Amino acid sequence: MSAVAVALTTAIGALAGAAARPVVFARSVPAPAAARSSCPHCGGAVLDRRLPLLPLTGRCPACSEAIGPRPLVAEAVGALAFAAIAVGGASGWFAAAQYWVAACGVALALIDLAVQRLPDALTLPTCAGTLLLLSAAAAAGESGSLGRAAASAGALTAVFLLMAFTGAMGLGDVKLAPAIGALLGWSGWTVLLWGAAAGFVVGAVTEVTRMAVSRTRRTHVSFGPYMLIGALAVSVTAA
């Protein structure tokens, strides 16, 4: 892909991050709450139903308190993810599936980091969209296997479900697993194994480094961002 195309794709990723900003604010609420539209500090309306955008400043327009993602964080994450996919060189419907997981992943990762949950309102569309785009890739005759993708989605979900029963993983991670498994399995079983393992490796290295720096240990780790980073990184390099 040319430098101009990569730059354009990066800009689109930044826009995807900007679009994710209000979703992150709305869904970063503890269970069992579903969503919010008002400032948690002053109660003032933040998201207008006609134009649901969140200020880039990351502050409430009424009270100026910090709300939602920090300024430009969502945009930067989206831009980096889209740029990496563009450089990876995938094309067609499979590339669209990668971009879809990345776009949904921006909101999912930031919500998980904020409140340690992956809401159904995002995990389910992520899985459905990924499977739909991979089905289109299969119909178009692109290199890969839809059957293997479906089997991988089921296998990874089953493994994560067993881990959830032991308390090692949350149900939100389990509900995101079909999208991760399908995206990786499309390219091969080895890609699935490496991609799934990469999430645990990235998570372990990050958490060990954080504990070494802060000398504190968290009782709950947001695994969603590590799942997404590991899966996309392996999927991009395998494309």
**pLDDT band at 50; cut points 50, 70, 90:** low
Digit-coded pLDDT (tens) for 137-155: 999 999 999 999 999 999 9
156 near 182, Cβ under 8 Å? no
**pLDDT band at 61; cut points 50, 70, 90:** confident
Residue 120 has pLDDT above 70, yes or no: yes
Q: What percent of the chain has pLDDT over 70?
A: 96
- H-type alpha helices, the chain: 3-27, 73-88, 92-115, 120-139, 146-165, 171-185, 189-214, 224-238
Cα–Cα distance between 140 and 75 in angstroms, integer? 32
Cα–Cα distance between 77 and 186 in angstroms, integer? 25
Digit-coded pLDDT (tens) for 6-30: 999 999 999 999 999 989 998 999 8
Backbone angles phi, psi at 42, to 5 degrees: -115, -10
Average pLDDT over residues 47-62: 70
Structure-derived torsion over alpha carbons of residues 53, 58, 64, 65, reported in degrees to the nearest 10 = 120
Residue 1 has pLDDT above 80, yes or no: no
Q: Which two tokens stand for residue 1?
A: 């892909």
Average pLDDT over residues 105-122: 94
The predicted structure's pLDDT at residue 53: 63
Average pLDDT over residues 47-72: 76
The predicted structure's pLDDT at residue 32: 77
Domain ranges of the chain: 3-238
Residue 155 buriedness (CB in 10 A; 0-12 / 13-18 / 19+): middle
Q: What percent of the chain has pLDDT over 90?
A: 66
Residues paired with 59 in a beta bridge: 66
pLDDT higher at 89 or 192? 192
215 near 226, Cβ under 8 Å? no
The predicted structure's pLDDT at residue 110: 96
